[in-house]
């Protein structure tokens, strides 16, 4: 079914980002996958080309257009090109971290950080998860205790995307450890602050070119000027921003499913068995038809979620439904597509194999499928 949400300006943007991916990402992608890290120069090149902070006001160097369709296009093109691991840092930067600055920062903080975020000189990350907690964020142990004009931060975080490359990290910590939700605040911890250390670049099942790391805080002195939003409102700030994070993951999920389907249709036309293209077996044809149906239905829902986000009416349960449905769809689609590729589907030189290992995390990060269903269930009064 034809998608109706895009205008000619979006199509031009899509073409230009597609060219960027071809020139600046694809030739380096294999090296990044081997290194376990995307070169940080990618952020500078993306910044230069106008692909960071399309929604940041022009006075800070941004695109000045608040329209998540541009973010959606970036994410889709990354998936279609099969460079998910190389692009994840950029979508996290644009879709997930940047809104915290745009929504919560003081004018001084905007002056300080936005130009670097838009140029790619300052790479962002957000650190909520700890070794002992993930889903149950209110139980976090990291503390930030006020001492005059600074906070003293102690604790550790894990599984942090852009963990190695990041220059400024939004850290969720307890400013009042006697409280659960109400004791949490958000602080910007900067590269080079004394006592802020990075652990290993974690070895993952997939998304190899995406750096995911542990972060350690030992008596890190963070000036009060680095408090983002209000003290004690950290949990509210997280809950407010999570629907956009979940929609971002959903957009990537449906994009990845579409990409897997595209590669498999091509393959099923070329590959022959028993003297006929494998796509012409009834089982293959039915599988392809089922996948196309599911992906197209999901795409229409996600497009409407993007429109709802733009209009400020995307609810937490809309985003939760989008996230769990599309990422589960991604998982089963890539699995079926591997099957249709036969043995070649297990070879990393085929994009479908990489899509398979990359897909496994998406039903977990940004809130697991189970937590998404909790949110949806609670919104129904249970
Ligand atoms: C590659 C990668 C990148 C990540 N990037 C970031 C990042 O940038 N920043 C960040 O802060 N975090 C990040 N994370 C962490 C991620 O968000 C968490 O792993 C995720 O939220 C799940 O938390 P957990 O791992 O502690 O699992 P747990 O919370 O321990 O959950 C384990 C299992 O129990 C289930 N469960 C838990 N509670 C309930 C419940 N109430 N009802 C039913 N089932 C439940 C879960 O669904 C899951 O199946 C990343 C993780 C990975 C692997």
- Compute the distance from residue 232 Cα to the ligand 1 centre, in Å: 23
Handedness of CA 285, 250, 359, 4 (dihedral sign): positive
For residue 84, the 8-state DSSP code is: H
Give the pLDDT confidence score for residue 231 in this predicted structure.
97
Which residue out of 36, 134, 238 has the highest number of ligand 1 atoms within 8 Å of its CB and is therefore the one to mutate? 134
265 lines ligand 1 (CB under 6 A): no
Ligand 1 and 361: CB distance under 6 A:
yes
pLDDT in tens, the chain (382 residues): 999 999 999 999 999 999 999 999 999 999 999 999 999 999 999 999 999 999 999 999 999 999 999 999 999 999 999 999 999 999 999 999 999 999 999 999 999 999 999 999 999 999 999 999 999 999 999 999 999 999 999 999 999 999 999 999 999 999 999 998 999 999 999 999 999 999 999 999 999 999 999 999 999 999 999 999 999 999 999 999 999 999 999 999 999 999 999 999 999 999 999 999 999 999 999 999 999 999 999 999 999 999 999 999 999 999 999 999 999 999 999 999 999 999 999 999 999 999 999 999 999 999 999 999 999 999 999 9
CB 10 near ligand 1, within 6 Å: no
Q: Which of 200, 207, 185 is closest to 32 using CA atoms?
A: 207
Quote the mean pLDDT of the chain.
97
- Sequence-ordered list of residues with C-beta below 8 angstroms from that of 373, at least 6 positions apart, any chain: 320, 324
* Phi, psi angle pair for 39, to nearest 5°: -65, 135
Whether residue 152 has its Cβ less than 6 Å from ligand 1: no
pTM: 0.97
Residue 231: active-site member: no
* Long-range contacts of the stretch 60-64 (C-beta < 8 A, 24+): 60/110, 60/111, 60/114, 60/115, 60/118, 61/114, 61/115, 61/118, 61/119, 62/114, 62/118
Q: What per-residue confidence (pLDDT) applies to 255?
A: 98
Q: What is the pLDDT of residue 249?
A: 98
């Amino acid at each position: 079914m034809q998608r109706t949400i895009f205008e000619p300006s979006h199509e031009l943007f899509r073409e230009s980002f597609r060219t960027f991916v071809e020139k600046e990402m694809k030739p380096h992608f294999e090296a990044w996958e081997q290194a376990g890290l995307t070169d940080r120069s990618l952020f500078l090149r993306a910044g230069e080309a106008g692909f960071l902070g399309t929604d940041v006001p022009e006075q800070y160097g941004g695109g000045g257009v608040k329209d998540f369709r541009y973010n959606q296009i970036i994410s889709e093109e990354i998936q279609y090109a099969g460079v998910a691991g190389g692009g994840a840092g950029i979508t996290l930067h644009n879709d997930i971290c940047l809104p915290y600055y745009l929504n919560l920062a003081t004018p001084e903080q905007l002056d300080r950080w936005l130009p670097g975020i838009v140029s790619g000189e300052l790479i962002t990350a957000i650190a909520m998860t700890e070794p002992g907690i993930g889903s149950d964020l209110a139980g976090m142990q990291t503390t930030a205790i006020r001492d005059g004009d600074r906070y003293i931060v102690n604790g550790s975080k894990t599984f942090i995307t852009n963990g190695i490359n990041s220059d400024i990290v939004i850290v969720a910590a307890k400013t009042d450890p006697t409280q659960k939700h109400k004791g949490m605040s958000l602080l910007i911890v900067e590269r080079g602050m004394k006592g802020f250390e990075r652990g290993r670049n974690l070895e993952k099942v997939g998304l190899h070119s995406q750096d995911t790391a542990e972060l350690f805080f030992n008596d890190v002195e963070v000036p009060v000027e680095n408090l983002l939003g209000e003290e004690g409102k950290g949990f509210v700030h997280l809950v407010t921003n999570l629907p956009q994070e979940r929609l971002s993951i959903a957009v990537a999920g449906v994009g990845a499913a579409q990409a897997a389907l595209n590669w498999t249709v091509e393959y099923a036309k070329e590959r022959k068995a028993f003297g006929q293209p494998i796509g012409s077996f009834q089982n293959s044809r039915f599988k392809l038809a089922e996948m196309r149906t599911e992906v197209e239905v999901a795409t229409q829902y996600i497009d409407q979620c993007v429109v709802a986000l733009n209009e400020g009416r995307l609810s937490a349960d809309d985003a939760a439904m989008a996230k769990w449905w599309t990422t589960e769809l991604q998982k089963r689609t890539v699995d079926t597509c591997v099957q249709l590729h036969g043995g070649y589907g297990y070879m990393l030189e085929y994009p479908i194999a990489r899509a398979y290992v990359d897909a496994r995390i998406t039903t977990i990060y940004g809130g697991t499928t189970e937590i998404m269903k909790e949110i949806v269930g609670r919104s129904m009064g249970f």
